[in-house]
C-alpha cells in the first residue's frame, strides 16, 4: 500500500512540476464543458421497456393534456404508448419541447416530443396541437420539422410525449 | 301470313349484329398548352410520407393533367420561367428504410417527366409544406436548398451543369428566400433576416443582417412568407403584415399594417399552412382567416379576407361553407385578368372561386391525402 502511495505521490509531484494551476483549471473547464454537452450528442439513451406497450385510453386521444404541442401520429395508436416507441423503431435523440398544463394536479410540465423513426408513417391517430409552438426559426419549439433527421434511419413513424419536469413559473 | 312475315323480318332486324368496336391504340397523353388557370397541388401524403406527389390540375376543365412524384418531405418550387419543377427530396434505399439519398430532381413541365438530378448532401431540411425549402435565383443560374442537421445552412447548386457549388453556414437562421440573381435571405430567431450575397461561382461574397422586425415571443411571424412584386410579406400570428422590399441591397422594412381591427385582434387570426397569396396586377392579398386563440395558427380559414395592398383596406370577406370540406389551409391566386382563387382544405378538397367576386365555381373532392401547398404555373 505504501508503495502505491509513493507511486501516486511521485506522479502527482511530477505532474505539478510540468503543469500550472491555470492549465489544470483549463483542462477541468474543458472536461466540464464536455460533460455539459454530452446530453446534446445524438446517442440513443432509450431505456428498453420490459413489458409490451399497454397505452391507456387517454394516451390514444389527441385531447390528452400531454399532447398540447404535438404534430404527428400518436405512437400510443401505433404499437407504443405516450412514452414508448413502437417495436422495431428508433427514438429520435433530438426533440422539440412544449409546456402543457395537467388539469389533474394543476401544474405545468415541460414535455419532450420525440419522434420514433425508421418506418413509414403510422397513419393512425393524427394529432395536430400547437400550444406555444413556434415557426422553424425557433427550432426547439417547432413541430413541423422531421425530428428523425439526425437518426441513422430518418424516416418518420410517430411521436411520443415524455414529461421532463415541472415548468418553473 | 303477312303478319307472320312482318314479325319474322322484324326479329331478323333485331338480331342483326352491331358492328364491333374498332381496335384501339394505346397512347400517352400530352400536357397541352399551358393555362394561367392551372395549379400545381402539392400533396404531402402524411399517411405515407415517402410517397408525396404534385398534381397538375386544370381550374377550367376541372381535370387532373398529370402527376410528379416527389419522395419524402420534399421542397418543391417552379423555375422563374415556369418550365421546370425542381424537387429537393429524400429516398431511402429500401423504400421506408435503408441508406438515405438526398437529391434535387428536375421535371419538365411540358411533359411531366424527370430530366435530371443533382445528388446533394443527405441533409436537405425536412419540414412540411413550405415555399422556401428550395428556390431559384432570378436568372435561374443557381438553385438554393436549405439544410438542417439540425445545424442550419444552405446549398448552392448549378442546375445547368448539375453540380453542388457550395454550402453556406447561416448561423442558426433558416430557409431560403431568394432575391435577384445572387441574394439569399434566411430568417432568424432574433427577428432579423440574414442576407448572403454570392459571387459568380456561387460562393459567399458578403452578408448583412437586417434590423429586427418581429419578436418571436410576443407575436411571431409565419415563416411562410407571401411573395410580392418587390419582396415578401411576413404575416404575424396576430395579423400584422410586415412587407419587406428586397430590391435594395439593404432590405427595407415598410411600416407594418394590420389585417384586423382593434376589436378583431386576438380573435380573428390568419392561419393554416400557405397563409396568403397576392394577385400582382390587382394588388390584392387573400388570407384564410379563422376565429381562435393562442396556438391556433395552423387552423385553416373559415373565411377568406381580401385586402387592397395599397390602401391596406379590407375589400371583402368571403365565408366558406366548411361543413363538408373543412377550412382552407392553403391559398393561391392565378395571375391573369380573370383570376381564379384556389383553396386547399383540411379535408383534401380543392375549391375554386372567382377571385374577383368570391363565388364558388367548383369543389373538387379528394385531391390527394393532405394537399397543403399550391403553386402557379
What is the ipTM for the molecules in this complex?
0.93
Inter-chain touch A134–B220, beta carbons under 8 Å: yes
Inter-chain touch A156–B220, beta carbons under 8 Å: no
* Chain A interface disruption, residue of B48, B121, B150, most A CBs within 10 A: B150
How many Å from the N-terminal Cα to the C-terminal Cα in chain A?
Answer: 54
Q: What pLDDT digit, counting tens, does each position of B230-273 carry?
A: 999 999 999 999 999 999 879 999 999 999 999 999 999 999 99
Q: Is the CB of residue B219 less than 8 Å from the CB of residue B179?
A: no
Phi-psi region of B158 (alpha: psi -120 to 50; beta: other; left: phi over 0): beta
Q: Is the CB of residue A145 less than 8 Å from the CB of residue A138?
A: no
Residue B39 pLDDT > 90 = yes
How far apart CA B242 and CA B240 sit, in angstroms, is 6
Which residues of A does the annotation mark as catalytic? 96, 115
Phi, psi values for residue B149, rounded to 5°: -125, -15
Sign of CA dihedral A101, A105, A107, A109: negative
How far apart CA B37 and CA B59 sit, in angstroms, is 5
The length of chain B, given as a count of residues:
377
Task: Please give the C-alpha separations between residue B289 and each of B296, B319, B325, in angstroms, as whole numbers.
Answer: 11, 9, 16
Which range (A42-56, B182-196, B285-299) has the least confidence? A42-56
Residue B14 pLDDT > 70 = no
**What pTM was estimated for this model as a whole?**
0.88
Residue B2 pLDDT > 70 = no
Inter-chain touch A123–B47, beta carbons under 8 Å: yes
How many Å from the N-terminal Cα to the C-terminal Cα in chain B?
Answer: 73
The whole-number pLDDT of residue B128 equals 86
DSSP H helical segments within B285-325, as ranges?
322-325
The whole-number pLDDT of residue B248 equals 84
Inter-chain touch B220–A139, beta carbons under 8 Å: no
Q: Which residues have C-beta within 8 Å of that of residue B118, sequence separation ≥ 6? A: B103, B104, B143, B157, B159, B162, B163, B164
The radius of gyration computed from the CA coordinates of chain A, to the nearest angstrom, equals 22
For B131-136, what is the mean pLDDT? 98
Q: In A, which residues are within 8 Å of B149 by CB distance? A: 149-150
Smallest CA–CA separation between B258 and chain A, in Å?
20
The whole-number pLDDT of residue B57 equals 98
Q: Which residues of B289-328 are buried (b: 16+ CB within 10 A; e: fewer)?
A: bbebeebebbbbbbbbbbbebeeeebeeebebebeebbbb
Query: Looking up cell 385586402, which residue turns up?
Result: B307
Q: In B, which residues are within 8 Å of A154 by CB distance? A: 90, 100, 126
Q: In A, which residues are within 8 Å of B216 by CB distance? A: 134-135, 137-138
What residue in B sits closest to A146 (Cα-Cα)?
A: B126
The whole-number pLDDT of residue A6 equals 53
The whole-number pLDDT of residue B120 equals 98
The length of chain A, given as a count of residues:
169
Inter-chain touch B221–A135, beta carbons under 8 Å: yes
Q: Considering CB atoms only, which of B95, B149, B221 is closest to A150?
A: B149
Q: What pLDDT digit, counting tens, does each position of A8-57 carry?
A: 455 544 444 444 444 434 444 443 433 443 444 444 455 666 677 799 99
Q: What pLDDT digit, counting tens, does each position of B312-334 carry?
A: 999 999 999 999 999 999 999 99
B10 pLDDT tier (thresholds 50, 70, 90)? low
Q: Which residues have C-beta within 8 Å of that of residue A116, sequence separation ≥ 6? A: A75, A78, A80, A85, A86, A89, A90, A91, A92, A148, A157, A158, A159, A160
How far apart CA B371 and CA A143 sit, in angstroms, is 18
B16 pLDDT tier (thresholds 50, 70, 90)? confident
Inter-chain touch B297–A133, beta carbons under 8 Å: yes
| Residue ranges of chain A whose pLDDT lies below 50 | 1-4, 7-8, 12-44
* Chain B interface disruption, residue of A94, A100, A149, most B CBs within 10 A: A149
Comparing B96 with A33, the larger pLDDT belongs to B96
Give percent of chain B above pLDDT 70: 96
Q: In A, which residues are within 8 Å of B220 by CB distance? A: 134-135, 138
For B77-82, what is the mean pLDDT? 98
Among B274, B285, B270, which Cα is nearest to B236's? B270
To the nearest whole number, what is the mean pLDDT of chain B? 95
Inter-chain touch B295–A145, beta carbons under 8 Å: no
Which residues on chain B place their C-beta less than 8 Å from a C-beta of chain A?
46-50, 72-73, 90, 92, 95-98, 100, 123, 125-130, 148-150, 152, 173-175, 187-189, 216, 220-223, 294-298
Task: Please give the C-alpha separations between residue A33 and each of A22, A25, A45, B110, B149, in angstroms, as whole numbers.
Answer: 16, 12, 20, 56, 22
For B164-168, what is the mean pLDDT? 98
Task: Please give the C-alpha separations between residue B209 and each of B16, B155, B223, B350, in angstroms, as whole numbers.
Answer: 84, 19, 17, 39
- Taking residue B160's Cβ as centre, other Cβ atoms within 10 Å add up to 10
The whole-number pLDDT of residue A21 equals 43
How far apart CA B51 and CA B72 sit, in angstroms, is 6
Q: Which residues of B203-229 are buried (b: 16+ CB within 10 A; e: fewer)?
A: eeeebeebeebbebeeebbbbbbbbbe
Amino acid at each position: 500500500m505504501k508503495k502505491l502511495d509513493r507511486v501516486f505521490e511521485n506522479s502527482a509531484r511530477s505532474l505539478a512540476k510540468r503543469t500550472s494551476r491555470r492549465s489544470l483549471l483549463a483542462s477541468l473547464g474543458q472536461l466540464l464543458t464536455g460533460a455539459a454537452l454530452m446530453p446534446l450528442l445524438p446517442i440513443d439513451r432509450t431505456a428498453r421497456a420490459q413489458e409490451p406497450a399497454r397505452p391507456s385510453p387517454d394516451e390514444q386521444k389527441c385531447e390528452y393534456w400531454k399532447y398540447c404541442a404535438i404534430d404527428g401520429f400518436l405512437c400510443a395508436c401505433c404499437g407504443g404508448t405516450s412514452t414508448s416507441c413502437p417495436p422495431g423503431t428508433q427514438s429520435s435523440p433530438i426533440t422539440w419541447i412544449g409546456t402543457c398544463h395537467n388539469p389533474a394536479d394543476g401544474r405545468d410540465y415541460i414535455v419532450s416530443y420525440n419522434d420514433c423513426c425508421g418506418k413509414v408513417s403510422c397513419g393512425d391517430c393524427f394529432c395536430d396541437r400547437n400550444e406555444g409552438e413556434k415557426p422553424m426559426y425557433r427550432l426547439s419549439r417547432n413541430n413541423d420539422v422531421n425530428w428523425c433527421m439526425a437518426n441513422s434511419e430518418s424516416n418518420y413513424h410517430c411521436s411520443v410525449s415524455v414529461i421532463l419536469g415541472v415548468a418553473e413559473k | 301470313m303477312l303478319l307472320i312475315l312482318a314479325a319474322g323480318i322484324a326479329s331478323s332486324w333485331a338480331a342483326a349484329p352491331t358492328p364491333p368496336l374498332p381496335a384501339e391504340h394505346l397512347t400517352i397523353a400530352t400536357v397541352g398548352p399551358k393555362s394561367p388557370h392551372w395549379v400545381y397541388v402539392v400533396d404531402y401524403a402524411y399517411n405515407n410520407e415517402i410517397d408525396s406527389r404534385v398534381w397538375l390540375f386544370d381550374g377550367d376543365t376541372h381535370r387532373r393533367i398529370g402527376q410528379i412524384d416527389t419522395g419524402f418531405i420534399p421542397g418543391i418550387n417552379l423555375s422563374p420561367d415556369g418550365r421546370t419543377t425542381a424537387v429537393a427530396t429524400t429516398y431511402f434505399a429500401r423504400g421506408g428504410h435503408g441508406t438515405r439519398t438526398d437529391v434535387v430532381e428536375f421535371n419538365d413541365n411540358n411533359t411531366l417527366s424527370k430530366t435530371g438530378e443533382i445528388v446533394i448532401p443527405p441533409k436537405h431540411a425536412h419540414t412540411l409544406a413550405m415555399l422556401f425549402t428550395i428556390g431559384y435565383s432570378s436568372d435561374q443560374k443557381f438553385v438554393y436548398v436549405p439544410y438542417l442537421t439540425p445545424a442550419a445552412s444552405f446549398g448552392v447548386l448549378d442546375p445547368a451543369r448539375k453540380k453542388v457549388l457550395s454550402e453556406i453556414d447561416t448561423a442558426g437562421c433558416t430557409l431560403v428566400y431568394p432575391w435577384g440573381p445572387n441574394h439569399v435571405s434566411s430568417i432568424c430567431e432574433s427577428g432579423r433576416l440574414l442576407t448572403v450575397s454570392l459571387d459568380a461561382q456561387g460562393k459567399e461574397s458578403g452578408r448583412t443582417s437586417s434590423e429586427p422586425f418581429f419578436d418571436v415571443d410576443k407575436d411571431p411571424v409565419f415563416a411562410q412568407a407571401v411573395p410580392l412584386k418587390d419582396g415578401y410579406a411576413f404575416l404575424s400570428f396576430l395579423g400584422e403584415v410586415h412587407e419587406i422590399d428586397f430590391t435594395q441591397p439593404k432590405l427595407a422594412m415598410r411600416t407594418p399594417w394590420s389585417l384586423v381591427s382593434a376589436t378583431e385582434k386576438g380573435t380573428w387570426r390568419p392561419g393554416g399552412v400557405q397563409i396568403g397569396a397576392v394577385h400582382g396586377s390587382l394588388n390584392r392579398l387573400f388570407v384564410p382567416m379563422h376565429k381562435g386563440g393562442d396556438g391556433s395558427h395552423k387552423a385553416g380559414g373559415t373565411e377568406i379576407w381580401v385586402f387592397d395592398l395599397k390602401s391596406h383596406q379590407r375589400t371583402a370577406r368571403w365565408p366558406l361553407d366548411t361543413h363538408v370540406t373543412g377550412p382552407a389551409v392553403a391559398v393561391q391566386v392565378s395571375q391573369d385578368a380573370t383570376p381564379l382563387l384556389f383553396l386547399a382544405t383540411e379535408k383534401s378538397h380543392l375549391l375554386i372561386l372567382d377571385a374577383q367576386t368570391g363565388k364558388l365555381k367548383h369543389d373538387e373532392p379528394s385531391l390527394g391525402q393532405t394537399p397543403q401547398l399550391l403553386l402557379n404555373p
